């Protein structure tokens, strides 16, 4: 049952059920007044066959109206059940309606507050915190809330997934420790090796220095060759710009103590000449 329909049923039941109880009492009173038990056995049959079943049906109807039609309320957002006799806090005056033992049976949030008589227009679902509107106006002002909100329900973790996750975490931690231990061992062996501790001779120092110098000079020459070929192709129709680029490259090469060389791209043959 949706909240709006539940509110209507509850309001109707509060008026209809007392009237039915009064009618039942009047029938019993009239029966006992005009048909004494000592007057005729018909009276006893009337009481047993009519009054008692009628009273029983009225009592069952009362229980049915309260238990089935009032508490069957579901949040339209999360589709979870909201018990109508849940203890709730009035959004207008802050009064807590209901007792810890019996809940809000007399003044549920579908009816009104027991202190200020304010009728809530909405109830904040304690499952998803979404407003549950109790009328067609969708008015969220001064909504009723659960008196003592509970923690949101959480799904229980899967034991198999938990064990698998724990196993993977331990495995990853062990692998990291093994890698660190292996690296430390290799570092210790390297530091203990003669090659690590031995100082380079003068010849080895010169050889290393020459290797660095040769790599730099060779790199400058290769860069010069590549750039001049690129400029020759790019500015073949603009000799002035080509000359400026070549002059800039000349100055760059001379900074390294080298003699600049002019490379000209032969577009027709696809070869390069000095």
Summarize pLDDT for 86-117 with one digit per residue, the tens.
888 998 998 988 876 666 667 888 888 888 98
User: Binning pLDDT at 50, 70 and 90, where does residue 160 land?
Assistant: confident
pLDDT of 51 above 70:
no
How many Å apart are CA 143 and CA 134, to the nearest integer? 10
- What does each C-alpha distance from 150 to 127, 139, 274 come to in angstroms? 9, 25, 88
Q: Are 230 and 236 in contact (CB under 8 A)?
A: no
β-bridge mates for residue 133, sequence order: 122
pLDDT of 202 above 80:
yes
pLDDT of residue 90: 92
How many Å apart are CA 206 and CA 64, to the nearest integer? 104
* Nearest residue to 80 via CA among 11, 5, 132: 132
Q: Are 97 and 87 in contact (CB under 8 A)?
A: yes
Least confident piece of the model among 49-63, 217-231, 245-259:
49-63
pLDDT of residue 267: 41
Q: 172: which 2 tokens?
A: 């990853």
Summarize pLDDT for 238-253 with one digit per residue, the tens.
989 989 988 998 988 8
What Rg value do the Cα atoms of the chain yield, rounded?
A: 48
């Amino acid at each position: 049952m949706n909240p709006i329909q539940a509110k209507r049923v509850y309001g109707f039941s509060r008026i209809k059920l007392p009237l039915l109880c009064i009618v039942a009492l009047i029938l019993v009173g009239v029966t006992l007044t005009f048909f004494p038990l000592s007057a005729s056995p018909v009276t006893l049959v009337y009481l047993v066959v009519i009054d008692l079943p009628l009273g029983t049906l009225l009592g069952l109807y009362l229980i049915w109206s309260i238990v089935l039609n009032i508490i069957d309320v579901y949040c339209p957002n999360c589709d979870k059940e909201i018990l109508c006799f849940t203890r709730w806090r009035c959004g207008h005056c802050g009064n807590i309606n209901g007792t810890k033992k019996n809940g809000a049976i007399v003044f549920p949030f579908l009816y009104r507050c027991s202190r200020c008589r304010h009728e809530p227009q909405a109830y904040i679902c304690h499952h998803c915190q979404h407003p549950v509107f109790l009328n067609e106006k969708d008015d969220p002002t001064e909504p009723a809330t659960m008196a003592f909100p509970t923690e949101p329900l959480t799904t229980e973790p899967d034991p198999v997934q938990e064990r698998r996750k724990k196993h993977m975490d331990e495995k990853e931690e062990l692998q990291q420790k093994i890698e660190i231990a292996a690296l430390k061992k290799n570092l210790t062996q390297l530091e203990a090796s003669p090659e690590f501790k031995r100082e380079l001779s003068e010849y080895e120092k010169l050889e290393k220095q020459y290797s660095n110098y040769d790599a730099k000079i060779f790199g400058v020459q290769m860069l010069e060759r590549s750039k001049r070929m690129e400029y020759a192709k790019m500015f073949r129709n603009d000799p002035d710009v080509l000359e400026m680029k070549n002059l800039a490259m000349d100055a760059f090469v001379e900074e390294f103590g080298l003699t600049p060389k002019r490379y000209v791209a032969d577009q027709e043959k696809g070869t390069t000449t000095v």
